[in-house]
Amino acid sequence: MAFRNIASILVAAFGLVIAGSAIAANSSGQPTGATSSIPVTGAFNTPALTYNSFSGTCSQAAFSLNATAVQAANGTIDITGNTTLNGLAFDTFAFQLTNGPQTFATTFARTFTPPPPASSTYTFVFNSGVRQAGNFLGTSVTTITCTGGVISATNNFVAAGAVPTLSEWSLILLALMLAGAGVYAFRRQNARRS
């Protein structure tokens, strides 16, 4: 009886290791090791999240790309994103980064379930939307290209566009134009009645 319990525990533990390996196989730029604080330089939060120093491997069945991440945003940021394989939607991901600004080692990886890409030449893109306290800061776009089994990658942070607003002087000018149009319409209508 004790043997069956031990065997059951071993099978369950082995299943967790296998499941853990499958989960670890798909990584989307979250920390994989220790993080290091960095001094804040340049504009606050810009760019909020970038990746560099890429190295890895790829095949028709999978890819794994190591990188260094730089979180320039102070405090906590939330990442929600999607991926594409050769321009077609593939999957989604989400994670949170705390203690910014910081740098950390990370991995981008996917294991393709059947059917895999048609060949070992494909483009896989991670679109990582960055939010802080509900405010959209921009998107970190990591493009991974596998060409005949040779991997390369680039990253670009696309900052959120500024929301156009009217200045105080623009509002005064708009009010004067509307008042002038009203006076003109009023005089024109009174001229017809006379």
Which tens digit of pLDDT belongs to each residue from 88-146?
Answer: 999 999 999 988 899 999 999 999 988 889 999 999 999 999 999 999 999 999 999 99
> Does residue 70 form part of some domain?
yes
66 vs 105: CA distance, rounded Å: 7
Q: Which domain holds residue 169?
A: 27-187
**Total domain count, the chain:** 1
Q: What is the mean pLDDT of residues 17-42?
A: 58
Beta strands in the chain (DSSP E): 27-37, 49-58, 62-85, 88-111, 122-132, 135-147, 150-159
For 143-159, b/e burial (b = at least 16 CB within 10 A) is ebbbeeeebebebebee
List pLDDT tens digits, range 177-187: 999 888 988 88
> Does residue 9 form part of some domain?
no
> Does residue 14 form part of some domain?
no
> Does residue 78 form part of some domain?
yes
Count of alpha carbons within 13 angstroms of residue 147, beta-carbon side:
4
> Does residue 10 form part of some domain?
no
Confidence (pTM): 0.69
> Does residue 16 form part of some domain?
no
> Does residue 102 form part of some domain?
yes
Return the structure tokens found at 130.
């960055």
Q: Which of 25-29, 36-40, 120-124 reaches the highest mean pLDDT?
A: 120-124
Q: pLDDT class for 151, splitting at 50, 70, 90?
A: very high
Q: What CATH number does residue 90 fall under? A: 2.60.40
> Does residue 4 form part of some domain?
no
The torsion angles phi and psi of 78, rounded to 5 degrees, stand at -105, 130
- In the chain, the amino acid numbered 84 is T
